[in-house]
Structure 1
Amino acid sequence: MALTDLNRSKTLRVKPPLEVGNMIFGKVQPQAKDLEEAILGAIMLEKGAFETAVDILKSDCFYLDSHQRIFQAMLSLANKSLPIDLLTVVEELKLRGDLEQVGGAYFVSRLTNGVVSSAHVEAHSRIVLQKFLQRELIRISGEIIRDAYEDTTDIFDMLDTAEAKLFEVTNNNMRKDFDAIDNVMVKTVGRIQEMRNRNEDITGVPTGFPKLDRVTYGWQSTDLIILAARPSVGKTAFALNLARSAALHPTKPTGVGFFSLEMSSGQLVQRILSAESEIHLEKISRGKLEEHEMQQLYKKGVDRLNTAPIYIDDSAGLNIFELRAKCRRMKTRYNVGLILIDYLQLMSGSSDRNSNREQEISKISRDLKGLAKELGVPIIALSQLSREVEKRKEGMKIPQ
């Protein structure tokens, strides 16, 4: 494309009107249009500016639709491994059918006029992100106010929804209806390259069991794993081993959130100390330890576990709403990478009196899967199989 074409489309530039929909309580929504233009212009002038901006912003962060379309065109060029400059961006907008919508080639060329360098792209990007988050808070607050006036809205559902939306804003992970494949492609290829450069076979959270790691490659983020067994066969002990292995892994230590609806935190810590110090649990529980065993307890158990990123919540009778809220806070505060729940049947579900217990457990399981995807961490939920199997004859105790 010749540079003279840029001047021909000068008349196509359209100044976007200030819409009434952008006014909230008589105020214009937070925006930084000049900085948005500076960012887009810097990206077209200097190669490294795009990498800086794309780590902070996504297309939705831009206030003007024209700026969003231009940034999407830049993402498309990056995915094709093509250079991002004035001419390539204009051509890409043409191919996407967006050139006229953004104001023509002249508007794109004007973005570079006031840019001297990309030195301040990161600072500008963070300001644009801040304005975007402010707009999202305004939008979410309006939705909360609207729902609060509805008498038919369940208050606990509304509280849970409000907290979920605010959590997303805090973590700069806005809920959206879809994710364009070009955005996902950049992250996916980057992850593939990262795994290719590593010598490890484990791509998720280590289980601590080599054979299990070979099958699962570690616990994968967003997965919900149900660990089911009959009563008194060691589910809690196994779960604690998983927590200990993840938190104390020599090369990939991972923060662990452990929700125990059955045992107290003291009982759980005693079990972990027993496993880590290799001292029988009965001796620790009764305090019947010799002097050398006390030294062993401190050296191999207490000293190591004191710094382990394991966070225990032993609240009894948790419902799914409380659990979700606690998990979100735990993720925000401690950045946990694995959550374990002991156990599923002790959780309470919805307040719907018409639903039976089986439906409640199914609903809890679906909610846990959604929570795993929301937080981006694997969740392991222990589940107890029916005790009726114990009443069967010897040799017939295989669960049906």
Structure 2
Amino acid sequence: MAENKRNTNKNTPQTAIPEIGRLQPQARELEEAVLGALMLEKDAYSMVSEILKPECFYEKAHELIYAAIVDLALSQRPVDMLTVTEQLKKRGDLETVGGAFYISQLTSKVASSAHIEYHARIIAQKYLARELISFTAMIQGKAFDETIDVEDLMQEAEGKLFEISQRNVKKDVTQINPIIKDAIELLQKAALQTEGLSGLRTGFDGLDKITAGWQNSDLIIIAARPAMGKTAFVLSMAKNMAVSFNLPVALFSLEMSNVQLVNRLIVNVCEIPGEKIKSGQLAPYEWEQLDFKIKELYDAPIYVDDTPSLSVFELRTKARRLVREHGIKCIIIDYLQLMNASGMNFGSREQEVSTISRSLKGLAKELNIPIIALSQLNRGVEARQGVEGKRPQLADLRESGAIEQDADMVCFIHRPEYYKITEDERGNSLVGLAEIIIAKHRNGAVGDVRLRFKSEFAKFMNVDEDVPVQEFTSSMAINGSDTPLPIAPKAPDFLTSVNKNEMPF
């Protein structure tokens, strides 16, 4: 009987949600008060324009009235009972909202706009609650559908939730005094540094001098054509930051597995050719060299994630946790074009890349750390002729001009030797040299920095840092001969000084 009574109750509002039997969050009286205040006070719209959109209103009539008010405000016409009535008439919505009589009733229900901003925020909160209810109901319905892949559904859920959160992100303005205080503190901190750096050191002296270190909240794009050494560059930098300066760094590798990435780090640190690390065919002195140098990597604050096809929403979740739990100071992504924004609809790949780059910039600001994203360049570089023609340009950034727009800094890696250019215009050798071209620097100077690149070790270093690797007498000084010794088939016993079970390769 209870069921029949509930179904036949004439007083049951039509706005009830059948699945849960509750009314949707709403604030009809506040909607009326806000609309009335907007038509009474000429400056009222400026107080709520950033808080409310027409769809925030629960009542359809109120949504149409507010849309008419927005039209008037955007065309810089006065907003009052008469002009709103006339605008609704032009839109063909006057009778739908209840006619001129209903408009006059709204103005009679409020005395002033004194609390209009507070009321508007409540309306916006109710709208957000309705959006979340609709979102969860949609996800719940799809979760019961066994034909839908759960992983795809999770990606879609993340995307939709991100859209809702971004739609409602608002930040109040700040009076300048506390900002001045923060700026002075940063200035004093930089002054205490002997190098005069205010940001994170990379270990590349020339680059640090131009940039003053990677700055918090910056999105830094490092771009190059394939085979230029993008991954080698950021791995060399990550090693410098984590090992030399004890700065926690997170590496998101969408292209390589964790083991492949760590093998590259081992090649970089131990200066043993990569093909030998892959095959394990090391000479005895190389095993000793490995044993001696790999200790630098143990306990280094480097955190690696090799999730393939990482979405920008997954990255946000993981990055927040890394900063909270491990105090990460810098995030590196290899590389941007392999990311996606699953769960959101885009007309083109360019629009998706734009969303990704914009989200990365937003994340850098939110976490207040630099985010470094590698990026591919298009083939325009290959088509150009001459020494200068091979130098990358901002127009060469692949898939989206938004990358250039969103980035605080864009750096290119250029190795003239790759294009068989072995001398500069002055006849100086370019063999083994790489240029880091700072093409965009929102908060500083642009310029070029030369580094040395040791291709056999996938390693970048300062030009004046090319010191021969320490020679180990146990293997290289036998009878004064430099003749290579036979390749050892396995690691010698002295490698037990490092726990073999923890070796990352």
Classify the TM-score, shorter chain: 0.5 to 0.7
Distance in 2, Cα, partners of 1:373 & 1:281: 37
Note if contact 1:231-1:387 (Cα within 8 Å) is conserved in structure 2: no
The answer to whether the Cα contact below 8 Å between 2:336 and 2:374 also exists between their aligned partners in 1 is yes
State the alpha-carbon separation in 1 of the partners of residues 163 and 324 from structure 2: 17
Shift of 1:180: 2.5
Alignment CA distance shift 1:289-1:162 (3 Å): farther
Q: How does 1:247-286 map to 2 (within 5 A)?
A: 247-249=242-244, 252-286=245-279
- What are the equivalent positions in structure 2 for 1:106-255 lying under 5 Å apart? 145-151=129-135, 155-157=157-159, 159-160=161-162, 176-249=171-244, 252-255=245-248
SS at match of 2:134: coil
- Distance in 2 separating the partners of 1:284 and 1:209: 26
TM-score (norm 1): 0.57
- Aligned match of 1:344: 336
Whether 1:322 and 2:314 are equivalent positions in the alignment is yes
In 1, distance between residues paired with 2:266 and 2:248? 18
What is residue 333 of structure 1 aligned with on the other side? 325
| 1:332 CA displacement | 0.9
Shift of 1:361: 1.1
| Other-structure match for 1:299 | 292
From the superposition, tell whether residues 388 and 198 of structure 1 become closer, same or farther in structure 2 (CA, over 3 Å): closer
Go from structure 1 to structure 2 and tell me whether the alpha carbon gap of 1:285 and 1:345 turns closer, same or farther (over 3 Å shift). Answer: same
Render the CA deviation track for 1:35-60: whole Å, top value 9, x for unaligned: xxxxxxxxxxxxxxxxxxxxxxxxxx
Partner of 1:15: none
3-state SS, counterpart of residue 386 of structure 1? coil
In 1, the alpha carbon distance for the partners of 2:310 and 2:213 equals 28
1:23-42 matches, within 5 Å, as none
Q: CA deviation at 1:293?
A: 1.3
Query: 1:162 Cα shift?
Result: 8.8
**What is the CA deviation profile of residues 213-265 of structure 1, one whole-angstrom value per residue up to 9, with x for unaligned ones?**
1101111111111111111111110011111111112xx42110100100111
Q: Is the 8 A contact 2:219 2:371 kept in 1?
A: yes
Quote the residue 2:349 is aligned against.
357
User: Structure 2: which amino acid aligns with 1:379?
Assistant: I
Amino acid at match of 1:368: L
Residue deviations 1:137-181 (CA, integer Å, cap 9, x gap): xxxx998754321359984345447999xxxxxxxxx98422332
Equivalent position of 2:358 in the other structure:
366
Going from structure 1 to structure 2, the CA distance change for 1:239 and 1:387 (only over 3 Å counts) comes to same
Task: Determine the C-alpha separation between the residues in 2 that align with 1:291 and 1:143.
Answer: 70
Q: CA deviation at 1:349?
A: 2.3
Residue 257 of structure 1 aligns to a residue whose secondary structure is: strand
The equivalences for 1:55-134 within 5 A come to none
Q: From the two aligned structures, give the one with the greater helix fraction.
A: 1
* TM-score, normalised relative to structure 2: 0.45
CA deviation after TM superposition for structure 1 residue 207, in Å:
1.2
Alpha-carbon distance, 1:389 to partner: 4.4
Q: What SS does the aligned partner of 1:323 have?
A: helix
Deviations 1:123-147 (A, max 9, x none): xxxxxxxxxxxxxxxxxx9987543
The match for 1:379 is 371
Runs of 4+ in 1 over 6 A off after TM superposition: 141-144, 161-164, 392-395
Computed over aligned residues only, the root mean square deviation of the Cα atoms, in angstroms, reads 3.2
Q: Note the C-alpha offset of 1:351.
A: 4.0
In the other structure, the counterpart of 1:132 is none
Call closer, same or farther: CA 1:146–1:182 in 2, change over 3 Å.
Answer: farther
More moved, 225-234 vs 349-358:
349-358
- Helix, strand or coil for the counterpart of 1:340? strand
Q: In structure 1, how many angstroms separate the alpha carbons of the residues matched to 2:128 and 2:283?
A: 60
Q: Provide the rounded CA distance (Å) in 1 between the counterparts of 2:248 and 2:367.
A: 13
Contact 1:206–1:213 (CA under 8 A) maintained in structure 2: yes
Aligned residues: 252
Any idea what the Cα deviations from partners look like across 1:181-224, whole Å, max 9, x if unmatched? 22223322223223333323222111111111110111111111
Change (3 A) 1:354 1:300: closer
Aligned equivalents of 1:314 and 1:256: distance in 2?
14
Deviation at 1:352, TM superposition (A): 4.2
- In structure 2, relative to structure 1, the CA distance for the partners of 1:184 and 1:206 (3 Å cut) is same
What letter matches 1:239 in structure 2?
Answer: V
Letter of the structure 1 residue corresponding to residue 276 of structure 2 = K
Identity of aligned residues (%): 44
Quote how far apart the aligned CAs of 1:353 are: 4.1
Q: Which residue of structure 2 lines up, in the alignment, with residue 135 of structure 1? A: none
Question: Which structure 2 segments of 5+ residues have no match?
Answer: 1-124, 139-155, 397-505
How far apart, in 1, do the equivalents of 2:210 and 2:184 lie?
Answer: 23
Name the CA distance, whole Å, in 2 between partners of 1:314 and 1:388. Answer: 30
